[in-house]
Structure 1
Amino acid sequence: MNTVFTIGIFLCFFLQFLLLTKKKAPTSDRILAVWMFVIGLHLFSYYLYYLGFWEKYPHMSGIHHPFPLLHGPFLYLYVLFSMKSDQRFHWKNYLHFGPAALFYIYMIPFFFFYSAEEKLMVNHGELDDYTAFIIFSLFAFFASGIGYAIASYRLLGWYEDLRNQNFAYKESIDLSWLKYFIWGIGMIFLISGIVVMLEWGLGVHFGFNTDLVLYVPLVGFILFLGYSGIRHRNVFADGTSQIQQIVEPKPSGEYLRSGLKAELAQQYHGKLIALMNTKKPYLEPKLSLGNLADELGITANHLSQIINQYEDKNFFDFVNTYRVEEFKQRVADPDNSNYSILAIALDSGFNSKSSFNQVFKKITGKTPTQYVSDA
């Protein structure tokens, strides 16, 4: 077990160093770096408790107690700033750390006014001054971890809509790996909460230190998050962001107040279809809503409205429908018989094999291989 903690602590501080030395690191990387540092401190302080240092040095006890309240906010803010074009950290973002700060304020008497003997008595349950607070803390820890995991997952769902509304490709802006991490964090807090409730509430004895249910899996997720986070480039702002117009998903009812009259919208829709059929902008693998809006001479918001209203699709599906049709035409051309399916797909505007297979199956109900065989 000593090896597990040593590896986890080392990884935290090493990954923090790599993130802070990353060139043109966006706010999301800085948040992840601070989070790695906090996790490292958390593991280190608990490791000292695990080794029995609290018994030798009682004044060290309780230092890491509010730390579990920090992981949920860091997770949420990392996901949030991985998607935001505005990379400024506002004062409202600090409010997420308010509960942890309140916990430390409440523990000031314990830190500064309790003697070493009194702290030992609290740790052993012989002095019940903080018993109610500890029970409340446990519920707060698990509620915070699970709650922020749910909020972060919902935020990723919003991001999926945002991406599909603005981009006709998924490669290099995919945060699907983060879904697994969010699920993992949520499950760790959920399982830890169940174990603690069974142990404390029902008196179930598991025969091992149940704290390790939280700390051991955390070490594995440190490696996964650190590796993925270092490789990840911020979606909308990496220090040299080229994306100028980002349209947020809107309910269809909001288009009634957009200011774009029906006649003008129909005209632009006709121009859009003509542009797609003549210039074929969808052949550009990294086509964005902003790029296409510039071609038409309208705002990205109005173009998004036109596509959603007249095509009943988001931008991603709209563009890739044209790419699928382009692929069908090219694969039916005898001149292309010597080319592979992937080569024709890439020439049709797709950016990767995986994206092509997913989109083609979604639109046609068949895999590309099945379609070509049946043709």
Structure 2
Amino acid sequence: MSSPSPVLSTIIFVFALQAILLSALIYFKRPKRQSNTFLSLLIFFYALMALNIAFINILIRFDSFPIFRYFQLELLYGIGPAIYFYTKSISNPSFKFKKRDYIHFLPVFLEFIFYRTGFYRLGAEGMYQAQQHPYTKIYLTEQWLGIISITVYTLFAFKLLLNHQDWLKQHYSNLDKKSLNWLKLPVIFYAFFWIAWNILREIDRVIYEGYLKDYYFLPTFMGLAIISVWIAFKSYTIPPANHQEKLKKLNLKADGPINLSEYAKKIELLMTTEKPYLNSDLSLSDLANQLDMNTKQVSQTINSCFEKNFYEFVNQYRVGYFIQKVKASEQEKFTLLSLAYDCGFKSKSTFNDSFKKITGKTPTEYIKKMKKESESMHSVD
């Protein structure tokens, strides 16, 4: 057992308690959202673990640690379902949690009962005894099944995020405030945390007989508590994405057969003459309305004829228009970023990423190359 540290224990206690309070605020936040319910559960499960560690150290200082085995709460099996259903709710507002979905949380109830039995108490204590208790294998099996549960659910959650990102690129030319990239970090972190933690704990137990525990035990849970608070604050302050348009578009069907070659010419003509890409908020439905087509016709034409998604297709025109402005020496009057905004881009990162993907160079490198080519041509003349 790690030596109690008043400073680290206090930090863990304070941040874990803050995370639990934030989870309650998120749960009762108005308007009531299904995603907030799962987010509050996710934060609560992790914060509760960190809070338990703080209690452990308090009990150790008062030589009362055995008491902890009777009220310990480590709801490991709730983390995976909470991550998955939170991700599913926030990326697809049409999803409704049904009665049959409660089966995913049944292991949490069984886990709670397990921690009230001697299988847990004797098994957990037996990990650090000279002669391992027979129940220790049961305890370790329960722990590793929990890790597998978290990993599997997290992989499914991350797949939902990737699918959502692909959907956005098929429907929007600007992903600012629509992308859920910020959600990927906590999902990866929570998945990595338990895998790394249990591997580290097993290495320490088997090879070093628990001697390294003082170096990593409390700092690890301090980091868990702090990051849980960060996740809670960030998630609480970021407004949910508006996907009402998504629900409408998913039900659209093409009217009759799709003539891709004719549609491609029609799209190219509009993009060249009307320059709809100058609208930084241009969406697939906006372009479809201007073309007097539906979104499925436009999307299928762009995917098949131009071999791009909507996001790449529109930003290709924006980059081309930017290059036209640079060739007209407009960069000498305005900054590169202001020119990018004039071309329909809404953020510096999107502009730089799109430009380099299309040209293979950064905007600055491209302009330098153009200047060198221009100077060499003049020198020849």
Q: Normalising by structure 1, what TM-score?
A: 0.81
CA deviations over 1:253-312 (Å, ceiling 9, x no partner): xxxx988635x3333222222221222221111111122223333332232111111110
Q: Which residue of 2 aligns with 1:261?
A: 257
Secondary structure of 1:325's partner? helix
Is 2:202 the partner of 1:197?
yes
Displacement of 1:328 in angstroms is: 1.6
Is 2:286 the partner of 1:291?
yes
Q: Which residue of 2 aligns with 1:175?
A: 180
Counterpart amino acid of 1:234? P
Q: Higher mean Cα deviation, 65-74 or 211-220?
A: 211-220
Checking the alignment, whether the CA contact within 8 Å between 2:172 and 2:284 is kept in structure 1 is yes
Q: 1:270 to 1:26 in 2, by over 3 A?
A: farther
Q: Normalising by structure 2, what TM-score?
A: 0.80
Root mean square deviation of aligned Cα = 3.3
Counterpart amino acid of 1:219? A
1:205-284 alignment to 2 at 5 Å? 205-208=210-213, 212=218, 215-237=221-243, 241=244, 243=246, 245-246=248-249, 261-262=257-258, 264-284=259-279
Checking the alignment, whether the CA contact within 8 Å between 2:16 and 2:226 is kept in structure 1 is no
2-side partners of 1:327 and 1:344: how far apart?
A: 7
- Structure 2 unaligned regions, length at least 5: 1-7, 371-381
Q: Which residue of 2 aligns with 1:374?
A: 369
2-side partners of 1:135 and 1:336: how far apart?
A: 64
Q: 1:352 to 1:121 in 2, by over 3 A?
A: closer
Aligned residues: 356
Q: Which residue of 1 aligns with 2:108?
A: 100
2-side partners of 1:281 and 1:91: how far apart?
A: 46
Q: Which residue of 1 aligns with 2:17?
A: 10
Is 2:98 the partner of 1:84?
no
1-side partners of 2:355 and 2:123: how far apart?
A: 63
- Structure 1 unaligned regions, length at least 5: 249-256
Percent same amino acid at aligned positions?
A: 25
CA deviations over 1:347-367 (Å, ceiling 9, x no partner): 111001111111111111111
Is 2:354 the partner of 1:349?
no
2-side partners of 1:122 and 1:227: how far apart?
A: 37
1-side partners of 2:224 and 2:134: how far apart?
A: 31
Checking the alignment, whether the CA contact within 8 Å between 1:69 and 1:100 is kept in structure 2 is yes
Counterpart amino acid of 1:13? I
Checking the alignment, whether the CA contact within 8 Å between 1:307 and 1:314 is kept in structure 2 is yes
Q: 1:285 to 1:120 in 2, by over 3 A?
A: closer
Counterpart amino acid of 1:174? S
Checking the alignment, whether the CA contact within 8 Å between 2:122 and 2:136 is kept in structure 1 is no
Is 2:81 the partner of 1:73?
yes
Displacement of 1:140 in angstroms is: 1.2
1-side partners of 2:217 and 2:145: how far apart?
A: 16
Checking the alignment, whether the CA contact within 8 Å between 1:165 and 1:314 is kept in structure 2 is yes
2-side partners of 1:7 and 1:303: how far apart?
A: 53
1-side partners of 2:286 and 2:101: how far apart?
A: 32
Secondary structure of 1:52's partner? helix
Q: 1:98 to 1:190 in 2, by over 3 A?
A: same
Q: Higher mean Cα deviation, 212-221 or 279-288?
A: 212-221
